[in-house]
Structure 1
């Protein structure tokens, strides 16, 4: 089997695989090929797994706040050091550092909570056509083959399918247009994932990093990959509300809430196909003119 076929068959769960090298220490895999900047969602997803492997089994993750400190290198092993901050009566807290070449490149504080019954409501609603009813990528990027190639190559590399109910900020920018500070995208992994709630949560963290910050660029008619912009995620947070299968379509409804001071702040709501709110996201990033 060719390397290309092997990569095509690889699941997101495979990409997040960790080797346990100590009670509170784990090691991620390296990637073949030339050195590239690590995808932030991969490091964050592995950190969720590392923290979860040390938390009580009856406490699923309910929140994670992360900071990206230095760019990662795909050809260097990443060590994940977990600190068991606290195990209370119903909550557990874990701190995780991702380390490459003896430097901390990423840090996360995660909380786990024993399931309980309580008051229930949500404001978020599913107000978009389903993934089978929206245009494919060829239609979204019609007339802009370079943007189509970049998008499909990016999704292929991450093992993700995406469908856009409305053209995303990047598609508008390619046409020289400004757009709304809201963008919606249906997402799923291309390969089936394990059934465990921890692995599904780690894979959701992986996907939740995708495109979110670009929602802040729509009103400016620019794309994050424009040559005159320096872009990097500073922090990313997620709150898990309900279990979600990430290998089935879900909607990430994204809002560019603010931009200024060479930073942007985006907020997202993740809903399953039934309209249940399963997670909330926030991301702040550097968006600096070169």
Structure 2
């Protein structure tokens, strides 16, 4: 999967029954289904039952079982509430007759109101100053650990440029933060707001647990630690375009008991806050 068109096709589910939808999976380099894919497909299923004048403003999901890449996932939507301004949906993802994921999502009709937002760091390094994952593979591929090289070698419809690139051959403990520029590959033209929200939900599950790893990066990494998304929440604020780079910025206030918490924001390049997120993930050191 290398283009935005392929990603949209992956997220656009097939209707197989009354409020029941089905979708396939694509690996991002792990043996299980990518959590961001399940999140975004569940949002697509919910969108299919929502009036056109209401838009996703928040979601809360729990990952219950690892997804099987080889078997379609069915999404069952329950219409919990249709109020005067808000609609609520519950989505259950099922595979092998098991519930592997549940989502609660709320949709709001657009209204006028006062506003403020978090500050944006205007002095942050710009994407043109940084290497992308693809650039790193070309420049350092012969020196990278096998697992890192295999991960970077997966074809993706998104380009990532991290602000800080740790040296995998000389790991050091780092601050509990992560900042990554990202943009879609190709020309994302004429995307409606709902499609943009589904794509952003998909992307939000990338890079998020790095912030929780960083304070212990001298000893622990994705190779010697069992990881999994446990839950994921997002709040969506403003419309945006995918025609330029966007900034993902995360911090981790805590890691304890084989779990780590990350939270943060997503900004447009000109500093507009479009979404916030939070995720707790499993960080279980593997026994030797």
The TM-score with structure 1 as length reference comes to 0.88
Q: Work out whether 1:226 is the aligned partner of 2:229.
A: no
Which has the larger displacement, 214-223 or 135-144? 135-144
Superposed, 1:200-219 pairs within 5 Å as 200-219=196-215
Moved more, 72-81 or 134-143: 134-143
- Contact 1:94/1:110 (8 A) holds in 2: yes
Give yes or no for the alignment of 1:105 onto 2:104.
no
Choose which of 260, 263, 280 in structure 2 pairs with 1:267.
Answer: 263
Match of residue 159, structure 2, among 161, 164, 186: 161
Deviation string for 1:25-59 (max 9, x for gaps)?
Answer: 10102559xx9310110011000111011111101
CA-CA distance at 1:134 after TM superposition: 2.2
TM-score by length of 2: 0.88
Determine if contact 2:36/2:205 at 8 Å carries over to the other structure: yes
**How far does the alpha carbon of each residue in 1:97-144 deviate from its partner, in whole angstroms, 9 at most, with x for none?**
111011110000000001111111012313312212223444698584
Change (3 A) 1:39 1:272: same
1:4 match = none
Match of 2:48 in 1: 53
Aligned CA distance change for structure 1 residues 247 and 151 (closer, same or farther; 3 Å): farther
TM alignment of 1:276-287, pairs within 5 A: 276-287=272-283
Structure 2, unaligned runs of 5 or more? none
Alignment deviations for residues 56-106 of structure 1 (CA, whole Å, 9 cap, x no partner): 110110000010000001110100000000011101000001110111100
Distance apart, 1:244 and its partner CA? 2.7
Give, in whole Å, the separation in 1 of the partners of 2:2 and 2:257: 40
Secondary structure class of the residue paired with 2:54 = coil
TM alignment of 1:192-203, pairs within 5 A: 192-193=187-188, 195-203=191-199
Could you say which residue in structure 2 is the equivalent of 1:235? 231
One of 105, 110, 116 as aligned partner of 1:121 = 116
1:69 and 1:105 in contact (8 A); partners too: yes
Name the residue aligned to 1:65. 60
**Hey, what does 1:8 align to over in structure 2?**
2
Q: Retained in 2: the 8 A contact 1:216–1:266?
A: yes
